[in-house]
Structure 1
Amino acid sequence: MTANSSVLITGASTGIGAIYAERFARRGHDLVLVARDKARLEILAARLREENSVAVDVLQADLTQPNDLAAVETRLRDDSRIGILINNAGIPQSGRFLEQTAEGIDRLIALNTTALTRLASAIAPRLAQAGEGAIVNIGSVVGLAPELGMSIYGATKAFVLFLSQGLHLELSPKGIYVQAVLPAATRTELWERAGIDINTLPAVMEVGELVDAALVGFDRRELVTIPPLHVAERWDTLDAARQGLLSEVRQGHAAERYRTTS
């Protein structure tokens, strides 16, 4: 299915999502592009149709809105041509934790975690029945780094990594490939929306380079792809340390250091 299937991409009007659309169109995949900005989607779709002779459908949706999210879920459940989901839509955190509003927190969590999870849930049963397909979840290295101070955004991206690892364990035996992509700073409009001048950052990856690297990981069937990580063994060491820690968790009694009278 993944060789000839359609690809549904969220957050496809600009940035990482738009480049994913370009790259999959070049590979000959038909596309379903999802975003709030219909005008941008239509312009991108027209160009990709002309340049690559692929079918491109546009689905305008704000994934924080229940009706819009439900419409995309229905498309994923019912359209048997879609074999790849790129869960890319997301928003950044603007300001520190104490500066957040209740509405802003709700929107951030709704888009970065709830929508992503529900879309994966919508397509997974059909892919499992087919015995093939792929779900790509765009996370962030911020999910590994609370020191960066983006507490809510980082927490949502830690969720994306955990979810992807869990889905891999559950779905890979059914033929479904799950990939978590963890970018670092990438040149997209998200920074401007968060009120951050991207030119003040010490190093920023171009979005085309990011997506091309992520697709190398996709083709290699990596579970976790971190494009800016130069020493791959560091991730392996981190994951091995995590598993080693779990092997030391003996649940029957508190650890000795907690059983002291001093």
Structure 2
Amino acid sequence: MSTALITGASSGIGAIYARRLAARGNDLVLVARATDRLEALASELREANGISVEVITADLTNASQLQTVLERLRSDPMIDILVNNAGAALVGNFASAEPEKMDALLSLNVVAPTLLTSAVISKMVARGNGSIINIASVLALLPEYSHGIYAATKAYVLTLSQSLAAEVSGKGVYVQAVLPAATRTEIYERAGGDISKVPDVMEVEALVDAALVGFDRRELITIPPVPEVEAWEAFEHARGVLAAGFSNSEPAQRYKSS
């Protein structure tokens, strides 16, 4: 029986991951700030699935509380699946954003998943198996659609996933980046937004179920709302074509003076 650690597990995407992975027979370590919600979910999952569920109350923007989670990742029983789901948004544009709020967002969306992954990856490589699931966003590919730094933080998560996969996939460790579009979670309300004004919102259960299909297929990038995989393949092909020019030792002709 494997063990999955899920951050942001008290609601939304994290809670559905907990229910789905519990139904698959995984023991769980649930991490979030809301102790009451975590304990209620843990009791539900123990009773329904006969599994072990640990609860860690932690605010991942707090260095000492993050350290508690890092220590659990380094300890036994070992973690076989890490779901880096905890995240937040920040409504407003870059020019008007408060530095303290940007710092907190970077801590949660960038620093925390980086350090959590770092804490578990060496053990996964050593034993030749393990999985990292990183929840990014389609805005990682469309930064001009999102003001402020949120899209940039999710672009980091996507790039981290791709570079990490290049490093460890040949060593038995699977990395998946999940890119949701608009999904019905509490992130909008917590950021001060209104989800009722957002069109074409996906239900969280549908999002996670689709992401787990991608997980079972061992996809590196899973984008649940995109109808045709060929669209992503064309994007990747175009990226490769662009990269073919990176090795040129001279500037392109169009950058030379006439």
TM-score class, shorter: over 0.9
1:97 correspondence with 2:94? yes
1:162-177 equivalent positions in 2, closer than 5 A: 162-177=159-174
Aligned with 2:186 (options 184, 189, 197):
189
| 146-155 vs 60-69, which moves further | 146-155
Deviations 1:129-188 (A, max 9, x none): 110000000000011112212330000001111110001010111100000000000000
Report the AA paired with residue 149 of structure 1: S
> How far apart, in 2, do the equivalents of 1:43 and 1:219 lie?
28
Report the AA paired with residue 23 of structure 1: R
**Scaled by the length of structure 1, what TM-score is found?**
0.96
Deviation at 1:251, TM superposition (A): 3.9
Mapped contact 2:5–2:79 kept (Cα < 8 A): yes
Deviation at 1:249, TM superposition (A): 2.0
> How far apart, in 2, do the equivalents of 1:150 and 1:44 lie?
34
Aligned with 1:153 (options 150, 154, 168):
150
Deviation at 1:99, TM superposition (A): 2.1
Q: How many residues align?
A: 258
Q: 1:120 maps to which residue?
A: 117
Deviation at 1:260, TM superposition (A): 0.7
Question: Which 4+ residue blocks in structure 1 deviate beyond 4 angstroms?
Answer: none
- Name the SS for the 1:99 alignment partner: coil
- Name the SS for the 1:86 alignment partner: strand
1:8 correspondence with 2:26? no
The RMSD of aligned alpha carbons is: 1.0
Q: Which runs of 5 or more residues in structure 1 are unaligned?
A: none
1:46 correspondence with 2:78? no
- Name the SS for the 2:149 alignment partner: helix
**Scaled by the length of structure 2, what TM-score is found?**
0.98
Aligned with 1:256 (options 247, 250, 253):
253
Mapped contact 2:8–2:87 kept (Cα < 8 A): yes
Report the AA paired with residue 257 of structure 1: R
> How far apart, in 1, do the equivalents of 2:79 and 2:149 lie?
32
Deviation at 1:250, TM superposition (A): 3.3
Deviations 1:178-221 (A, max 9, x none): 00000000000001112221111111000000000000000000
1:34-113 equivalent positions in 2, closer than 5 A: 34-113=31-110
> How far apart, in 2, do the equivalents of 1:250 and 1:190 lie?
42
1:245 correspondence with 2:236? no
Deviation at 1:13, TM superposition (A): 0.4
> How far apart, in 1, do the equivalents of 2:147 and 2:68 lie?
31
